[in-house]
Structure 1
Amino acid sequence: MDALNQTRVTEFVFLGLTDNWVLEILFFMAFSVTYMLTLLGNSLIVLTTVFTPRLHTPMYFFLSNLSFIDICHSSVTVPKMLEGFVLERKTISFDNCIAQLFFLHLFACAEIFLLTVMAYDRYVAICAPLHYPQVMNMRVCVHLVFALWLGGTVHSLVQTYLTIRLPYCGPNIIDSYFCDVPPVIKLACTDTYLTGMLIVFNSGTISLTCFLALVTSYTVILVSLRKQSAEGRRKALSTCSAHFMVVALFFGPCIFLYTRPDSSFSTDKVVSVFYTVITPLLNPLIYTLRNEEVKSAMKQLTQRRVFS
């Protein structure tokens, strides 16, 4: 509480992605379109899953949750980034900055856990198909989703606490376009080495552990596919390759950003754009373009809504 009472900074100033006004206009147009497509694509997956009874299975239940998380994840950072492109002075209040980094880590951690759960779901479906209905029934799936949100909340509370317990007396300039723990704690008026190491340990352990669990799951799946029929191998590889593409696109930037105690923010900004803006758009494209069942359900849902 004493540390909080010493806080004198009331707002932070973002440097943004660039100070070139021509690039800012181009970025504003490009990222506005990207954000709208992200909302549209992920919302369509959620609605398709909810209103199509044959998609009421664990795999599509998890997929709809992934789309919901992607909507939330991109909405934490992108609107503020777009606002910064049209404002000369890019500011955010201290409280809103803390709220932004809290929800950023909440949704990012929830997505990490969800991707791990999805890998486990595919492992059971392919390697133990006879036990799949008992192991992955909808009650278990709901409990798993509740657990991943709880885990994400605990992780985010830890990150937020480690950030707000530090005194901030200035400077208040963040070399980024959103509030995240590493650039914010750099502005603290005290030695942050131990705090930085705790933050890296927290985020890095989660990212690396889940990534290794994912790689192990998919390795076991690939080995077990030798016993499958040609058609079974094709379907399994199609589904698993889509999952692994999403894993690589999400975990790559996470591991790069959160497993290093010292960061180069100019490089981190480029990686962060991919992680917060591009990946949430690519996820629905990967799943819909490679999944005939989802595309068919979307087409039927659209036709039903149009003709009704």
Structure 2
Amino acid sequence: MNSTQSSPVAFFIIQGLASLGEKKMVLFIIFLLAYTVILGGNIMIIYLVRTDPKLGSPMYFFLHNLSIVDMIYTTVTIPNMLSGFLTEVKTVSVPGCFLQMYCFIHMSVTGRALLTAMAYDRYVAICNPLRYAAVMTRPVCLLLIIGAWTFGAICTFPNTSMAVQRSYCGPNVVRHCWCDPSSVRLLVCGDTQVDSIVSLSFALIALLTTGVLILTSYILIGVKIAKMGAAERLKAFSTCAAHLTVVSISYSSASFVYISYRVRIIVSVLYSALTPFLNPMIYSLRNKELRVAIKRVVIEKKLPCFMNATHIHCSSHYIISYLFSHQI
């Protein structure tokens, strides 16, 4: 499948997980179900936050935006990966490849920036609760959201713009399940040392800036919690539990970028579905108000769901069809 040619390539071949053979169909079913659940869970959160007045706090506003990011992030990667499981040769146009690359990096960075904004929200709620309403106003929340998306664009543009300007004259096989920047960079005709430095620099800026801010927030929260009584401490911890769980999964997965290339591809594939898949579950199971809102929708709209004390299982396909029919 590798082809070396003197003229610029017209398309890229996505190698994906071609070596898995018959196991590809098993993965196809797993990722298709995961993608359906991701869409259903995140659309449900967006619908609830937009329609339920009791979910009007800044935390749910940030969660609403995180759900949008997760949906775009998975839509950029998983459908292409699914089509690759069904075809012998998966191709993508050169402009399509760069567009996918841009969206993939942008959503990844923006998601972590939103987690940083949510960490600040938790810090204000626990460390300065009396001034929470005065600090976390609607304009402030909008500025934090705009800042998160802008930060994602700033960290994405240099890497993508350099990739677009490079010459690709073969081979044209991307050894990944989508147009991953480092995989595409291997196909450049010429020296890519500067590209690698720029890419690594902005990746570190994105990870370290958000990571340090989140860590600082939780250190201050930890100091505050240490001074509380047992009951207050438990309540404060439950307030942060969902966010802290999501942050731990996100940043521990990102650390695998620096391990071997083949393992990194597998981790990237799992991470592309795992985090967006778990986010709605973690927040719905850890947050009482969200659980109550979901149960209220289930009862009022008679969705086909099974409920017990801690879990809510719904038909993701029905949820998607219902919510889009009601023009959310």
TM norm. shorter chain > 0.5: yes
- What residue number does 1:54 align with? 54
Q: CA deviation at 1:7?
A: 7.2
- What residue number does 1:191 align with? 191
- What residue number does 1:300 align with? 296
**Structure 2 gap segments, 5+ residues each:** 1-5, 304-328
Contact preservation (8 Å) 2:72, 2:107: yes
Write the distance in 1 (CA, Å) between the matches of 2:106 and 2:166: 20
Contact preservation (8 Å) 2:241, 2:286: no
Counterpart code for 2:279: N
Root-mean-square deviation (Å): 1.6
- Deviations 1:229-270 (Å, cap 9, x if unpaired)? 43332222123122111112112233432xx5xx73311111
Assess, with a 3 A threshold, how the Cα gap between structure 1 residues 10 and 306 changes in structure 2: closer, same or farther: same
Instruction: Count how many residue pairs are aligned between Structure 1 and Structure 2.
Output: 298
Write the distance in 2 (CA, Å) between the matches of 1:129 and 1:102: 39
- Deviations 1:103-146 (Å, cap 9, x if unpaired)? 01111111011000100110011001111111111121012111
Write the distance in 2 (CA, Å) between the matches of 1:133 and 1:249: 30
Deviates more, 1:83-92 or 1:221-230: 221-230
- What residue number does 2:172 align with? 172
- What residue number does 2:313 align with? none
- What residue number does 1:282 align with? 278
Moved over 4 A (4+): none
Contact preservation (8 Å) 1:218, 1:240: no
Counterpart code for 1:240: C
- What residue number does 2:71 align with? 71
Write the distance in 2 (CA, Å) between the matches of 1:239 and 1:9: 52
Write the distance in 1 (CA, Å) between the matches of 2:42 and 2:162: 32
- Deviations 1:208-238 (Å, cap 9, x if unpaired)? 2211221121121012012334333222212
- What residue number does 2:20 align with? 20
Contact preservation (8 Å) 1:253, 1:271: yes
- What residue number does 1:3 align with? none
Q: CA deviation at 1:305?
A: 2.1
**1:221 is the counterpart of 2:218:** no
Q: Secondary structure at the match of 2:302?
A: helix
Write the distance in 2 (CA, Å) between the matches of 1:149 and 1:230: 38
- What residue number does 2:310 align with? none
Q: Secondary structure at the match of 2:22?
A: helix
**Structure 1 gap segments, 5+ residues each:** 1-5
Deviates more, 1:90-99 or 1:151-160: 151-160
Deviates more, 1:44-53 or 1:18-27: 18-27
Contact preservation (8 Å) 2:159, 2:195: no
How is 1:1-308 mapped onto 2 (pairs within 5 angstroms)?
Answer: 8-257=8-257, 260=258, 264-306=260-302
Counterpart code for 1:283: N
Contact preservation (8 Å) 2:158, 2:198: no
